[in-house]
Amino acid sequence: EVQLVESGGGLVQPGGSLRLSCAASGFTFSSYSMNWVRQAPGKGLEWVSYISSSSSTIYYADSVKGRFTISRDNAKNSLYLQMNSLRAEDTAVYYCARAPNWNFVGWQDYWGQGTLVTVSS
Amino acid sequence: AIRMTQSPSSLSASTGDRVTITCRASQGISSYLAWYQQKPGKAPKLLIYAASTLQSGVPSRFSGSGSGTDFTLTISCLQSEDFATYYCQQYYSYPQLTFGGGTKVEIK
């Protein structure tokens, strides 16, 4: 069974940093590209970032470019999102989500349960 | 960026009803569209990709159609477990993937 479990969320002050993790199991993590998608409280979904299976291709939404860094450790079956210079508008539940193959930017076929990031003073 | 507009934003329906949700893209996206279902407090679940291909395990009462700029998600016979919010997503203009604003399906 595919499982994605996010962690690392919490309360952080504006301008602060946070690192999210996503632990994957139930599939060959190194064979799939991954995404981060977020959802502000009571709002819709917003794609944040993408990383290919080998980390050779990385993309960011314009709203986070230059502040967030996506990475992965295939030996540890883990995905990460380093978030710096956080703003109130970054407050959201952050989901890690799997793409259906190794180098595909498109739909997401499995999602984790999400971790809440709150940016507030 | 391509804007995705869903209508209606919410609807009320009864079990057994046929429900149709519309998603319109601000420019043509061929068939590069996915649909997701999200229940309160839960992660989104993929229903359909490539506009009309049903994800494995999704009940056949769900169907998708359309291409270009206009798309529909149809639930042929609404079940109690289908009350949720539905989102469309375009992946034509990657890497800037964009979602529609959502359609909440509520019990009448």
Is the CB of B34 less than 8 angstroms away from the CB of A113?
no
Strands B19-25, B45-49: pairing is unpaired
Nearest C-alpha of chain A: how many angstroms from B76? Answer: 23
Is the CB of A105 less than 8 angstroms away from the CB of B102?
no
**pLDDT score for A104:** 84
Compute the average pLDDT of residues B17-46: 97
**What's the longest Cα–Cα distance across chain A?**
40
Is the CB of A107 less than 8 angstroms away from the CB of B34?
yes
With 90 as the cut, is the pLDDT of residue A47 above it? yes
- Which residue in B41, B37, B32, B38 sits closest to B2, CA to CA? B32
**pLDDT score for B95:** 85
Is the CB of A111 less than 8 angstroms away from the CB of B44?
yes
**pLDDT score for B107:** 87
Nearest CB to A45 within list B1, B87, B91: B87
Where are the alpha helices (H) located in B1-108, listed in sequence order? none
- Compute the count of residue pairs across chains A and B with CB atoms less than 8 Å apart: 59
Is the CB of B94 less than 8 angstroms away from the CB of A107?
no
Q: Which of B46, B47, B48 to mutate to test the interface with A (most CBs of A within 10 A)?
A: B46
> In whole angstroms, what is the distance from residue B74 CA to residue B82 CA?
11
User: Which tokens is A6 given?
Assistant: 């996010």
Q: Is residue A58 classed exposed, middle or buried when 0-12, 13-18 and 19+ CB atoms within 10 A define those classes?
A: middle
Compute the average pLDDT of residues A42-48: 96
Compute the average pLDDT of residues A5-21: 98
> In whole angstroms, what is the distance from residue B99 CA to residue B23 CA?
10
Chain A interface residues (partner B, CB cutoff 8 A): 37, 44-47, 50, 59-62, 95, 97, 100, 105-114
Write the secondary structure of A8-22 as one string of H (helix), E (strand) and C (coil). CCEEECCCCCEEEEE
How many C-beta atoms lie closer than 10 Å to residue B38's C-beta?
19
With 90 as the cut, is the pLDDT of residue B24 above it? yes
> In whole angstroms, what is the distance from residue A41 CA to residue A19 CA?
20
User: Which tokens is B50 given?
Assistant: 């490539």
Give percent of chain B above pLDDT 90.
94
Give percent of chain A above pLDDT 70.
100
**pLDDT score for B94:** 81
**pLDDT score for A101:** 84
Nearest C-alpha of chain B: how many angstroms from A121? Answer: 25
Which of A50-54, A68-72, A104-108, B81-85 is the least confident region?
A104-108
Q: For residue A79, what are the contacts with CB-CB under 8 A and spacing of at least 6?
A: A21, A22, A24, A34, A36, A51, A70, A71, A72, A96
**pLDDT score for B85:** 98
HSE-CB at A105 with a 13 A cutoff on CA atoms is 19
Is the CB of B94 less than 8 angstroms away from the CB of A105?
yes
CA Rg value for chain A: 13
With 90 as the cut, is the pLDDT of residue A105 above it? no
Compute the average pLDDT of residues A91-104: 93
Q: Which of B97, B99, B104 to mutate to test the interface with A (most CBs of A within 10 A)?
A: B97
Average pLDDT, chain A: 96
> In whole angstroms, what is the distance from residue A118 CA to residue B20 CA?
35
> In whole angstroms, what is the distance from residue B65 CA to residue B33 CA?
10
